[in-house]
Amino acid sequence: MSNTAIIAEQLSKAYLLGEISTGTLSRDLERWWAKARGRQDPFLKIGNQEEQKTSGKNDLSWSLKDLNFEIKSGDTVGIIGRNGAGKSTLLKILSRVTLPTNGTVKIRGRIASLLEVGTGFHPDLTGRENIFLNGAIMGMRKAEIKKNLDEIIAFSGVSRYIDTPVKRYSSGMYVRLAFAVAAHLDSEILVVDEVLAVGDAAFQKKCLGKIDDVSKQQGRTVLFVSHNMDAIMQLCRHSMLLQAGRLHSFANTREVVNTYLQQDSELFVEDRTPGLERPKIRRVEVDPTYLSKGHFKCTISFESPFLIEQPNIGLVMKTATGSPIFGTNFNLHPGNNTGKSVRNGQATVTIMDVPLYSGLYTISIYLGDEGQNYDEKPDHLTFELISGNYSPANHDINIIGPVKLPASWTLS
């Protein structure tokens, strides 16, 4: 195990469902009283919906089930998956916040973890006092903490308030100080959850740079949970994909991220509404393999109760804030077979070298003919572009408002 930081074997975690085991007698009574009145459990956490639907009368809900993996020392590992997949539970087990129900985990070295806002902080102590408290919880000696104290305070950016009780800190200040402590103390393993999203954009960038430095320059092992695929791609050599509490894959980050995006239901939206009184858009799908290469390909399936003489299908892409970027349709960019009469079919638009930065985007779709619109689905689909590094100077385009792009349509 000399070159191994973490080994997990048959690692599982179950939580007991029911009226008891909420943590306190008063909460147990509150849960029982809610059930007696036919109300929803007041302490039920929304998470793994598949487990909730299939659990039936079973009193156990498995947050993690039979995980087996090995993480090498000095590796940077991303942990991705949907909400409720078990990512945070895994980190809590590795950080010894909670114990596994079954299986074993062997860890070589001390762990510094940042799991939730204020984890390990006492609200009545000052920021300075909490640095020493947090370091002691991580197993650091006072001399080790003193050696890094000035650097921790400088990195956190809260030096003015360092001798103020942290109960007066904002959530962003909490995170800044907590991350500074975790990243600067001499632990062999750094564990970071999605909590960084609380900080502002500048501090997030600063944190990501520090994580990269901790791994590459200091040779420390890093476990990083995030829904930001671009950050995962930039920082992590390997990644693991969790699905419904099970380990789906653990491999090269690009391969795992592509698998995650391909299986993400947000890459397609399907309308299963029965009946058909007028032409209707049934399915919209974005090809993830094109996105990973900086291109864009979208397929729109439709049905009609009658022949559409001059079909016209259009698409508008917007940023997450609702600003339109570009639009295209059969009339603006006619292509292969776009002028033929159809009843049911598929329309595919392809755009090469899409000038977009990394981020979230929405797609609006409409279906019509020369005289009217039959179906319209605003902001119907959301997708995330990863590793986008568009530079207007490189493309000789100055983006102000919607972009004009050479789109290519086909109708079949």
Q: Model confidence at 262, in pLDDT bands (50, 70, 90)?
A: low
Q: What is the pLDDT of residues 230-257, one digit of tens each?
A: 778 878 889 999 988 899 999 998 888 8
On the question of pLDDT at 268 being above 80, the answer is no
Alpha carbon distance 19, 100 (integer Å): 22
Per-residue confidence (pLDDT) for residue 10, from 0 to 100: 92
Mean pLDDT of all residues in 354-381: 85
Name the token pair of 296: 């864009």
Query: Where is pLDDT greater, at 49 or 44?
Result: 44
Q: Model confidence at 281, in pLDDT bands (50, 70, 90)?
A: very high
Alpha carbon distance 60, 48 (integer Å): 13
Per-residue confidence (pLDDT) for residue 333, from 0 to 100: 87
Q: What is the pLDDT of residues 80-91, one digit of tens each?
A: 888 788 888 898
On the question of pLDDT at 397 being above 80, the answer is no
On the question of pLDDT at 393 being above 70, the answer is no
Per-residue confidence (pLDDT) for residue 382, from 0 to 100: 80
The percent of residues in the chain predicted with pLDDT above 70, rounded, is 80
CATH for 265-411? 2.70.50.60
Query: Where is pLDDT greater, at 326 or 128?
Result: 128
Alpha carbon distance 305, 295 (integer Å): 34
The least confident of 46-55, 196-205, 390-399 is 390-399
Q: What is the 3-state secondary structure (H, E, C) of the chain?
A: CCCEEEEEEEEEEEEECCCCCCCCHHHHHHHHHHHHCCCCCCCCCCCCHHHHHHCCCCCEEEEEEEEEEEEECCCEEEEECCCCCCHHHHHHHHCCCCCCCEEEEEECCCEEEECCCCCCCCCCCEHHHHHHHHHHHCCCCHHHHHHHHHHHHHHHCCHHHCCCEHHHCCHHHHHHHHHHHHHHCCCCEEEECHHHHHCCHHHHHHHHHHHHHHHHCCCCEEEEECCCHHHHHHHCCEEEEEECCEEEEEEEHHHHHHHHHHHCHHHEEECCCCCCCCCEEEEEEECHHHHCCCCEEEEEEEECCCCECCCEEEEEEEECCCCEEEEEECCCCCCECCCCCECCEEEEEEECCCCCEEEEEEEEEEEECCCCEEEEEEEEEEEEEEEEECCHHHHCCCCCCCCCCCCEEEEC
CATH class given for the domain over 73-262: alpha beta
Per-residue confidence (pLDDT) for residue 411, from 0 to 100: 92
Q: What is the pLDDT of residues 68-121, one digit of tens each?
A: 999 998 899 999 888 788 888 898 888 888 888 889 999 988 887 777 666 668
Average pLDDT of the chain? 79
Per-residue confidence (pLDDT) for residue 356, from 0 to 100: 76
pTM above 0.85, yes or no: no
What does the domain layout of the chain look like in residue ranges?
73-262, 265-411
- Which residues lie closer than 8 Å to 83 by C-beta, 6 or more apart? 47
The least confident of 193-207, 241-255, 281-295, 360-374 is 193-207
